[in-house]
């Protein structure tokens, strides 16, 4: 097991590295703000298409590259919008209610295309922002949705941390809480995520389970429990098995989601089923970043958008058949009934 730890140089060399890190944060912040501003400019000509209006509030980055969350009017949910503002996904504050193409040539977005778009979004998460723990050789890439106050998540972390567990996985963790209505719980998620050595803080917090969750140093970064909720909202589009807000849950290389086993042998069996990383290796960011470019080009040229202009990622067909029919049949009945549920 490798927990990524900070490397400290000699005291005299600390300041240059600190200044460089601060400069990188400033540049990243400016780049993110530039993308949000570009999205607003691109959306402006299409605002009359929406009633009630969307995106009347603040714009936030999501963990998906090139995708933004925009607050709506009071009483309405937020909306997910790509930078080109060609794809708009309104919500009821919990689930995505529609996929809308903007512009004169707009057409409905069928279910299969919605799943293909969201799968590309999940593959293009900013994994460098997630809590990262490498187990063994890290041969199986795992996206783990977990909660610091979930008993089964605690048991899973203890299983992976145990000497001789022989768990071989490259684990990227989206941290959350079972009760996001409590400000203290939401603050704990942020403090763990924003900690300088968040992998060690996460593991120590769960494996020791001393109850001292709120004695953590205050974290300072742009990551929060809402970022995990964004990913969960997107995942729900992929099918019934993905809709459950339960912890711990993991997405493996076969594109399926599992309730994580807490027994070492059962967990190794689940990881073996998802070996190969086929799902993670097929990145097609163009599907949502440059959504249906043919329709927009035709509209700009006052031409009808022909059927040939419609972009659908057909190379994912076999994979999404598995996504659509994916199940948790390999988990035990006990796990199914007692995994941590989030409201």
210 and 238 in a common domain: yes
178 and 101 in a common domain: no
58 Cβ neighbours under 8 A, 6+ residues apart: 70, 71
230 within domain boundaries: yes
Give the pLDDT confidence of 76-105 residue by residue, as tens digits: 999 999 999 999 999 999 999 999 999 888
* CB-CB contact of 170 with 138 (8 Å): yes
Give the pLDDT confidence of 151-187 residue by residue, as tens digits: 999 999 999 999 888 899 999 999 999 999 999 999 9
Tokens 């979930």, residue located:
150
> Which pTM does this prediction carry?
0.79
137 and 214 in a common domain: yes
22 within domain boundaries: yes
23 within domain boundaries: yes
190 and 331 in a common domain: yes
139 Cβ neighbours under 8 A, 6+ residues apart: 168, 169, 170, 275
86 and 166 in a common domain: no
292 within domain boundaries: no
Q: What is the DSSP string of 258-278?
A: EEPP-SHHHHHHHHHHTTT-H
3-state secondary structure of 239: coil
Residues in the chain: 343
Of 66, 82, 109, the position where a domain reaches its end is: 109
Give the pLDDT confidence of 276-299 residue by residue, as tens digits: 888 998 867 779 998 988 665 555
Give the whole-angstrom CA distance, residue 156 versus residue 332. Answer: 15
Of 46, 76, 109, the position where a domain reaches its end is: 109
165 and 52 in a common domain: no
pLDDT of residue 24: 45
218 and 94 in a common domain: no
- For residue 29, cis peptide bond before it (omega within 30 degrees of 0): no
Query: Domain residues for 58?
Result: 11-109
pLDDT of residue 295: 64
78 within domain boundaries: yes
* CB-CB contact of 194 with 219 (8 Å): yes
150 within domain boundaries: yes
DSSP 257: E
Looking at the DSSP assignment, which residues form a beta bridge with residue 68? 61, 81
Give the whole-angstrom CA distance, residue 104 versus residue 49. Answer: 10
167 within domain boundaries: yes
Give the whole-angstrom CA distance, residue 190 versus residue 222. Answer: 9
220 and 146 in a common domain: yes
252 and 137 in a common domain: yes
153 and 270 in a common domain: yes
pLDDT of residue 285: 76
Per DSSP, helices labelled H in 179-250 are: 183-194, 198-208, 225-235, 240-243
Give the pLDDT confidence of 4-56 residue by residue, as tens digits: 544 334 445 444 544 444 444 444 444 557 788 999 999 999 998 998 889 99
Give the whole-angstrom CA distance, residue 225 versus residue 254. Answer: 26
The HSE-up count of residue 30 (CA atoms within 13 Å, CB side) is 6
Domain of residue 207, CATH code: 3.40.30.10
63 and 134 in a common domain: no
Which position has the higher pLDDT, 329 or 214?
214
Q: Which helix (H) or strand (E) holds 3?
A: strand 2-3
225 within domain boundaries: yes
Domain total in the chain: 2
11 Cβ neighbours under 8 A, 6+ residues apart: none
144 and 276 in a common domain: yes
Give the whole-angstrom CA distance, residue 174 versus residue 171. Answer: 10
């Amino acid at each position: 097991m490798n927990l990524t730890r900070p490397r400290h140089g000699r005291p005299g060399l600390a300041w240059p590295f600190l200044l460089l890190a601060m400069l990188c944060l400033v540049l990243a912040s400016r780049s993110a703000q530039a993308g949000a501003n570009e999205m607003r400019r691109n959306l402006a000509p299409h605002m009359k298409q929406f009633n009630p209006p969307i995106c009347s509030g603040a714009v936030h980055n999501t963990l998906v590259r090139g995708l933004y969350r925009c607050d709506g009017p009071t009483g309405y949910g937020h909306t997910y919008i790509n930078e080109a503002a060609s794809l708009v996904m309104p919500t009821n504050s919990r689930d995505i209610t529609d996929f809308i193409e903007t512009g004169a040539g707009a057409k409905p977005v069928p279910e299969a295309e919605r799943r293909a778009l969201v799968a590309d979004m999940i593959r293009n998460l900013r994994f460098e922002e997630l809590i990262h723990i490498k187990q063994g050789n890290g041969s199986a890439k795992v996206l783990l949705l977990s909660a610091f106050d979930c008993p089964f998540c605690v048991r899973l972390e203890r299983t992976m941390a145990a000497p001789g567990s022989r768990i071989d996985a490259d684990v990227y963790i989206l941290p959350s809480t079972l009760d996001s209505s409590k400000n203290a719980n939401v603050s704990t998620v942020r403090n763990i995520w924003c900690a300088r050595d968040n992998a060690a803080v996460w593991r120590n917090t769960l494996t020791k389970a001393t109850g001292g969750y709120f004695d953590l140093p205050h974290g300072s970064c742009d990551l929060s429990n809402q970022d995990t909720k964004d990913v969960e909202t997107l995942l729900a589009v992929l099918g019934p098995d993905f809709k459950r807000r339960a912890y711990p849950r993991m997405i493996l290389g076969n594109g399926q989601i599992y309730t994580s086993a807490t027994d070492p042998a059962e967990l190794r069996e689940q990881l073996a089923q998802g070996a190969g990383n086929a799902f993670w290796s097929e990145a097609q960011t163009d599907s949502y970043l440059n959504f249906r470019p043919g329709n927009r080009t035709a509209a700009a040229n006052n031409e009808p958008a022909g059927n040939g202009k419609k972009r659908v990622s057909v190379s994912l067909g076999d994979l999404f058949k598995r996504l659509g029919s994916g199940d948790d049949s390999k988990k035990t009945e006990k796990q199914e009934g007692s995994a941590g549920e989030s409201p």
